[in-house]
A and B are shown apart, each in its own frame.
Chain A
Amino acid sequence: MNDLGWIDPILGAARPRVMGALLRYFRTLDTAEEAFQEACLRALKSWPQNGPPRDAAAWLILVGRNAAMDQVRRQAKQTELPDEAVLSDLDDAEASLADRLDGEHYKDDILRLLFICCHPELPATQQIALALRIVCGLSVKQIAQAFLVSEAAMEQRITRAKARIGTAGLAFETPGAPERAERLAAVAAMIYLLFNEGYSSSSSREAEARKPLAEEAIWLGRLLLRLFPAEPEIMGLTALMLLQRARAKARFDGEGNIILLEDQDRSLWSRPRIAEGLALIDKAMRHRRPGPYQIQAAIAALHARAQHAEDTDWAQIDLLYANLERLQPSPVVTLNRAVAVSKVRGPEAALEMIEPLGARLQGYFYFHGVKGALLQQLERPREAREAFGRAIALASTPAEAAHIRQHLDRLSC
């Protein structure tokens, strides 16, 4: 086979494990990255001829580590060392390294790699950019495109982020259970941020550019789940992302305008993603340890299970939002709940529920959009028009404004 398409996915899949191990050896991101690059170059030379090694990650760790140590030695002695016949005696070394990899510690290596990207001093966008570069292995150009900024700006952002975190204060010993749980929560939050960065697009063009962000977030979710298979919140997070992403093709019309959930063509929803999401949420529920990701996934699951918009189990969604409000009180959650309440108990009850949120959400586009829609249902056109007017003023994209304008048009006929 001349087609080398099979190699890239193997390198990509091995990346977190290999980078995690190399970071533990060398303690600096830059050296780990260089070692990984070198190992990949050698793989591209060796694998097409010799076939892929039994354990690609172990091969890459070993070759990367040797290459980087050669480099260090050369710099130290300023003399040329003879080229090692690395590949000839690799089999044994590979086997013993693979045995060690079977231990649990590679999980902490990968978690550490993800966790350093979540450094609290880094703004969220830098955390995400760093994770995309270091863990997912996206090129700076790809990341820049997804964030809709120039390559130079992104390069600078990533360099600055790396300089800021250093690895000086980072614990390399195996973390204890509470610390591991803390790291896991921080990483989960970063992954969900990344997903939202990719998902919250409000035009089809933007959504297309940002699609890789959402895809990488799902990839990271699955990765985390393989490392920690019994964590219900990680199941919930991955399910939530899969179920939301399943709707991607139905979210925009031919002109690139938003199509709301209830108007979407459900035959465009991705069935395999929904199946995977539902399977994960089923598994998570068995643990009876609900958390915000699981509840949001359960809400998304109810939408996914409804064949038609009118089949949606709004009463159950209302209950789930009530639980979410308890676990994670926020005016935005209450606003979302109000939409469910309007379906179950009518627009009057929903309006009553969101009225007290006005002070905190007065700068929030969706608040005025929802309020306008409720007032419209209650046949209070003057107030509805006012709310929609505010929403348009707060719209951050033409697509959002266009959507509200449709409501206004309907009011005036």
Chain B
Amino acid sequence: MLYAILCYNSEEAIGSWSKDYHDETMARLYAVNDKLARQGRLGPVARLLPTTAATTLRKGREEMVIDGPFAETKEQLLGFYVIDCTSLEEALDTAKELAKANPGTGSYEIRPVAEFHPSQLPENKPAP
């Protein structure tokens, strides 16, 4: 079964990381990525720009375009993984590995995927 692991944390805290701490943490997270990839369990992964770069379209009879994320929260959605797991336990174990690589504040929301459409983007399309 596919699970999405949604990464929430305070982007203000992330933005205060020193370069060294950032590089070390990212290296630990990439190591988890690599392991999942070797196991053939790694789906798409995305890291999002800060919510200051976000725009929200609120639906309704009159659509509204709002600057910023859809809700002001103390922790923000900063990125996500899609991974293949045999059970919720396995998904939780993976989230725990991520938490160990990136300790401190924040949460991982584990959401089973209902429908999955593989990417139509050219392979390895570089981030902008």
Contact = CB atoms under 8 A, between A and B. Distances in A.
Interface of A: 1, 3, 5-10, 12-14, 52, 54-56, 219, 222-223, 225-226, 229-230, 235, 238, 271-272, 274-276, 278-280, 283, 286
Interface stretch (B34-42, B45-53, B83-91, B111-119): B45-53
Contact of B74 (A5, A55, A272): A55
B67 A223 contact: no
B16 interface: yes
A56 B65 contact: no
A272 B13 CA distance: 18
A52 B67 contact: no
A346 to B, nearest CB: 34
B67 A283 contact: yes
A229 B67 contact: yes
B85 to A, nearest CB: 24
B13 A10 contact: yes
Contacts of A13: 10, 12-13, 15-16
A230 B15 contact: no
A54 B2 CA distance: 29
Interface in B16-62: 16-18, 21, 24, 49-53, 55
A5 B103 CA distance: 9
B121 interface: no
Contact of B67 (A10, A55, A230, A275): A230
Contacts of B21: 5, 9
Given A230-B68, A280-B53, A6 B104 contact: yes
Contact of A279 (B10, B49, B74, B103): B49
B49 A276 contact: yes
Nearest to A101: B74
B127 A271 contact: yes
Interface of B: 10, 12-18, 21, 24, 49-53, 55, 65-68, 74, 100, 103-105, 126-128
A229 B70 CA distance: 12
A328 to B, nearest CB: 24
Centre residue among B14, B18, B49, B105 by max chain A CB count within 10 A: B105
B104 A10 contact: yes
Given A13-B13, A276-B53, A283-B53, A229 B74 contact: no
B127 A1 contact: no
B52 A274 contact: no
A275 B17 CA distance: 20
Contact of A10 (B52, B68, B105, B126): B105
15 contacts: A1-B100, A5-B24, A10-B105, A12-B13, A219-B16, A229-B67, A229-B68, A235-B67, A274-B128, A275-B127, A276-B49, A276-B50, A278-B128, A280-B52, A286-B65
Contacts of B68: 226, 229-230
Given A55-B74, A56-B10, 10 more contacts: A9-B104, A10-B13, A10-B16, A10-B105, A13-B12, A52-B104, A54-B74, A226-B12, A226-B68, A238-B52
5 A-B pairs with the lowest CB-CB distances in the bound complex, closest first? A6-B104, A229-B68, A13-B12, A9-B16, A12-B16
B69 to A, nearest CB: 8
A283 B55 contact: yes
Contact of B103 (A3, A235, A274): A3
A389 B14 CA distance: 49
Given A13-B13, A230-B67, A275-B127, A6 B74 contact: no
